[in-house]
Amino acid sequence: MHIDSRDPWWRHAVCYQVYVRSFADSDGDGVGDIRGITQRLPYLADLGVDAVWVTPFYPSPQRDHGYDVADYRDVDPLFGTLADVDALLSRAHELDVRVIVDVVPNHTSADHPWFQEALAATPGDPVRDRYVFRDGTGPDGQEPPNNWPSIFGGPAWSRVADGQWYLHLFDPGQPDLNWWNADVGDEFASVLAFWLDRGVDGFRIDVAHGLFKPADLPPREAHHRLPAPMWDQPEVHEVYRRWHKLLEQYDGDRMAVGEAWTASAESMARYIRPDELQQTFNFAWLEADWSADAFRAVVEDTLAAVGLVGASATWVLANHDVVREATRYGGGATGLARARAAALTMMALPGSAYLYQGQELGLEQVEVPAEARQDPSWFRTGEVGRDGCRVPLPWSGTSTPYGFGPGEGQPWLPMPEGWGDLTVEAQSGDPASTLSFFRELLRTRREVTPGLPDAVEVLDAEPDTLALRRGDLVCVVNCGSRPRRLPAEAGAIVLSSGAAPTHGELAPDTAAWFRLA
Ligand code: NOJ
């Protein structure tokens, strides 16, 4: 299949994830906001992204930083107003940047009126049926209904005053909805329509593999890698068929991308059958080590799986839930070189690429001091949690808050010392910087990849290297520790993530694009 101008925009898009709290703070309260994003849209357009995905900005007690939604049709005053979102949408569209918003259908906030109504009702009342309430087990029902754990640690059940228990696969402030109840499906169809009518281009679906839990809530068996019974149930696909039809009623190729952590590439592909979601995040690369064999397996398995259902791939190295890739790949200069090489490799492939804010600056995971940590999982498990990849972006200057906002003190998560060289301002003036590399990469991708086939051939290559050919584009990455000879097919150099190849050899921790004559 060839890229052509009739392809929907999302099929080959580069989408940049904005983590609202940490992108740009317009009012100096130390928390990023919608106006901050709008002000910085020219930066994103100049970087060359096609779309932004904005994480939840809805009214929320912020127990899980917005992934606990109390009202799906409004904006938290912390982040702005509905008018600010309208302004963001229109400015983005002027700049030819699409906007994807998050939808959180697996659970609401405990502050959501439905949950408050359920708490006020008695066991057996129909309003409780919108959530997963059950009697406990053991003497006086003092034990949880089953052994399911919360992703954030501890049991997935909390007890309410009248003795019943409710399910929360995440924080107790995030009660799971009961998708067997028709109110729930109708409500989310209406929420999607609300945002589509306002002009959003698509949705990122939180915990897309959740939603339906088997009605008999079978216990989790310890030997499963994924705690199976609560995930990836067949009924969830009906939800996405309904949403597909809804999206189709709008113009402009509106889309949805699912966050579906499934057990295999095949099960991921079930979410992107022709009448379901347009995309799912492909987390395989984000989970892979720095290894040519691992990367090869990711590319082959992904393309085979999406090919089965006639869908297109996505590629993801980072998001707000995982350790930043420069750190995963070893940190320091080596980690950064590898992160750049992985990005260059991923961008050669057919499909769409997701970037996480700060990836273009080569940021590393920050060691957030214990007293400043905010991730709910830290409070439930005592494990470090995800704060280290959520530290606000450094825009300018040499000390905190590095232009993140007009304030002087530390923002909601403290920014480290020594980030002066990593700011957008500092990197913009330096042609060797990671930001300059990403600008060049996105510009080159726009120039070189349209018209290339979706088929990818793995070429014979030296050990520790992976060489991919897509039409007349060849991409080689060297994951080893010494220079490696380029395959015979590599043509003229187009772009390198580090040192340019010399004498037909590619340096370690480096990737490069070549074009056949
Ligand atoms: C996935 C989101 O990416 C994560 O940040 C959140 O904590 C969980 N879903 C629960 O909503």
Do residues 187 and 147 both lie within one domain? Answer: no
Ligand 1 pocket test: pick from 64, 68, 167, 171 the residue with the most ligand atoms within 8 Å of its Cβ.
Answer: 64
Domain of residue 494, residue span: 453-516
Q: Which amino acid is present at 363? A: L
> Is 418 found in the same domain as 322?
yes
**Ligand 1 pocket check for 170: Cβ under 6 Å:** yes
Specify whether 206 is catalytic.
yes
Amino acid 28 reads G
| 227 CA → ligand 1 middle, Å | 16
Q: Is 94 a catalytic residue?
A: no
Q: Is residue 143 part of a domain?
A: yes
Residue 65 shares a structural domain with residue 150: no
Cα distances (Å, whole numbers) of residue 62 to 18, 67, 171, 389, 463: 17, 7, 11, 17, 48
470 neighbors 492 (Cβ within 8 angstroms) = no
CATH number of the domain residue 90 falls in: 3.20.20.80
CA distance 362 to 196: 34
- The pLDDT profile of the chain, 517 residues, written as one tens digit per residue, is 344 566 899 999 999 999 999 999 999 999 999 999 999 999 999 999 999 999 999 999 999 999 999 999 999 999 999 999 999 999 999 999 999 999 999 999 999 999 999 999 999 999 999 999 999 999 999 999 999 999 999 999 999 999 999 999 999 999 999 999 999 999 999 999 999 999 999 999 999 999 999 999 999 886 655 557 899 999 999 999 999 999 999 999 999 999 999 988 899 999 999 999 999 999 999 999 999 999 999 999 999 999 999 999 999 999 999 999 999 999 999 999 999 999 999 999 999 999 999 999 999 999 999 999 999 999 999 999 999 999 999 999 999 999 999 988 999 999 999 999 999 999 998 999 999 999 999 999 999 999 999 999 999 999 999 999 999 999 999 999 999 999 998 999 999 999 999 999 999 999 999 999 7
pLDDT of 228: 77
pLDDT at position 193 is: 98
Query: Residue 20 has what pLDDT?
Result: 98
Q: If you take atom 3 of ligand 1, which residue's CA is the nearest one?
A: 321
CATH number for the domain including 498? Answer: 2.60.40.1180
Tokens of 195: 């945002």
Task: For residue 207, report the distance from its CA to the centre of ligand 1, in Å.
Answer: 7
Task: Report the pLDDT value the prediction gives residue 3, as an integer from 0 to 100.
Answer: 45
Exposed, middle or buried: residue 334 (CB in 10 Å: 0-12, 13-18, 19+)? middle
Evaluate: CB of 321 within 6 angstroms of ligand 1: yes
End residue of a domain, out of 167, 196, 211: 167
Catalytic pick among 50, 102, 206, 325? 206
